[in-house]
Structure formats: C-alpha cells, structure tokens
Copies of this chain bind each other. A is one copy, B any other.
Amino acid sequence: MQGTRLDTERIRAVRRLIDPVFLDTPLYPCEALASTLGCAVTIKLETANPVRSFKGRATEVVAGLLAEQGAQAVVCASAGNLGQALAWSGRGRGLAVTVVASRSATVAKLDRIRALGARLELVDGDHEMARERAAALARYDGIRLLEDSLDIETCEGAATIGLELVGSPPSFDTVLIALGGGALATGVGHVMKALAPEVEVICVQPLGAPAMTLSWRGRRVVTTDSARTIADGVAGRCPVPAVLDDLLLVADDAVLVREESIVAGMRMLLDHAGLVAEPSAALGVAAILEDPARFAGRHVVTIVCGGNVDPDAYHRWVGTAPVRGS
C-alpha cells in the first residue's frame, strides 16, 4: 500500500490515551440479521458508551494530547457526535470546550453537548458554515481548532476500531463503513489495508449527501450545493483534499444509498438486532438491502457507529409495523 497520512504504530500507541470505556467494544455475529439479509453479519457496536458514538476514541486522543501539552481550550465544529465526545473528553481534563453546530442539528445531540458543560454556539446554515465559524473562533481566541477528518488524531482515534476488528478470530470478507468527512473510513480502512489487506473496504454514503463518494469516484474533490439526508452525522458538502487522498488509497468501493433504505436499515437493526442506530449507523445495512446479490453468502462486518437520535424522529422512523424476517 502507498502511504496514507496514518501510521499503524501510532494508532497502536494512541490507544493508551483513550479511556477504556470506549475500547474493546462488542463484536459479535447477529444471526437474526443474517437470515434476513442473506449474508453473515457481524456487528461492531460503538454506541454502548457515555457519548453513544465512536467519536470518543478520537476526542480522547485529542484531549489527552492537549492536556499533556498544557493547553486549556479547544473548539470544533460538529453535527453533534464529535462535539458531545469532545465535551466529555475535555471535561475530564479541565479543558474549556466550545462546539459550533448548525441550528438544524439533532436536538438530542445539542442538549447533551450543553449538559456535558461545553459552550455551544449555533449558526444559521449547515455544517460547512459551522466549520467556518469554528475556524474563525480558533483564530480569534488563539486556541486549538479540532478539524474532524483533517486532523490526524480523529482518523487514528477511529482507526483503533480497525485494530479491534483484525485482532479477533473469525475472519470476514467485507467491512461496511459510514462515509462522511472520512475519519472513520480512512482510519478503519488504513488498518485493514495494512493488517488485513484481503478484507474489502466498502464506504457507504447517503445519495442525498454524496460529495465524498463523488470525489472518490472522480479522484478529485467534488463539492455539492446541498446535503439532504436524515443521516446528519455524514452530511458534509466539502471534502478535505488530504482525506480524499487517503480514501483513494484504502477504499475498494464507495456506494450511495437512498433515504428509505437508511430508514429500513434502522428498523431492521431495531427489530432484528435490538439496536438503536442513528441514520449514519444504518448505512451498512442499507447498502446490503440495496444490493443483496453483491453480499450474498459473504461475511460482512458493519460498524454501528452511533446511536444518538431525537426520540420523536426515531419513533417516527421506526414506529410503524415491524420489519418481518424473510
């Protein structure tokens, strides 16, 4: 493999900075899903922790390093999960955390960011506007700007999931990874290509927010005018060039899925696996639902990367008659 910006030894080393509550998450076969989807499905569950998403792995690394350097403050833009995780990691280390989010972000995520003691600033517009405002705040206050997917700690924190996948026995054929800014995909993808190159790395993004997938396919940055999806965690419009370069090295494919498949995936994870997944975390199941022939008889790992949903919206998505097994 040509070199990504990530380093496997550094990924192994950053584990020491991460609170164990985020590590060694459940990894288990879900036969009820398998019989419904027509392929063996193993779940990597990143929702059973204090912030209900995988982002704690990254923010623990960032906050740990900042604390070692004597920093006192940090700011990030977030659709909610990164902000919540940074608030949690910063609080434990005495860091003042500011999170900039879109006014249209998931309310449950914003509530949790405030409850964790971070300063929350809301901006009109979407996530890209929040990124600009966070950068301005960092310049003005002279504090660290944490940029998701661009900052290598966010990728290498997420990459620790990859170490836990390759370290455990039953080998698998494919890993399905939610694709947004690219931290999770490049992180896990790097580890797969370095330590288990036989595993196919497939990234999954909503059809309504396809910027990174279009960029990967075109091998150059493609931005979009809008991002229309319920999968708020992956709703970016402006891919970061350095992250795209890494993704080009580690992804075997990038696929786009429809909103109704994401909802069906959430309902299937609830009814057949007993798991509450946020829309981004159902992208893997959505990809199987849209192309069952591709996965038939294969052994697939899907990373259930977050479970932060607004209860009202979630009940609306999953509240009708349950999905029946085949």
Partner of A26, one of B25, B115, B271: B25
Residues 33-51 of chain A, each 1 if its beta carbon lies under 8 Å from chain B, else 0: 0010000000101011110
Q: Does A9 lie at the interface of the complex (its beta carbon under 8 Å from any beta carbon of B)?
A: no
Across the interface, which residues of B come within 8 angstroms of A43, CB to CB? 48
Which of A31, A309, A315 has the most chain B CB atoms closer than 10 A to its own CB?
A315
Compute how far the CA of A274 lies from the CA of B47 in the bound complex, rounded to whole angstroms: 8
Q: Is there contact, CB below 8 Å, between B35 and A115? A: yes
Q: Is there contact, CB below 8 Å, between A32 and B112? A: yes
Q: Is there contact, CB below 8 Å, between A50 and B28? A: yes
Instruction: Work out how many copies of this chain go into the complex.
Output: 2
Across the interface, which residues of B come within 8 angstroms of A325, CB to CB? 111
Determine the residue in chain B with the shortest Cβ distance to A310: B322
Determine the residue in chain B with the shortest Cβ distance to A308: B274
Determine the residue in chain B with the shortest Cβ distance to A312: B322
A-B contact pairs, 17 of them (CB 8 A): A21-B28, A26-B48, A26-B49, A28-B50, A30-B50, A32-B112, A32-B115, A43-B48, A111-B325, A271-B311, A274-B307, A274-B309, A311-B322, A311-B323, A312-B321, A315-B321, A315-B322
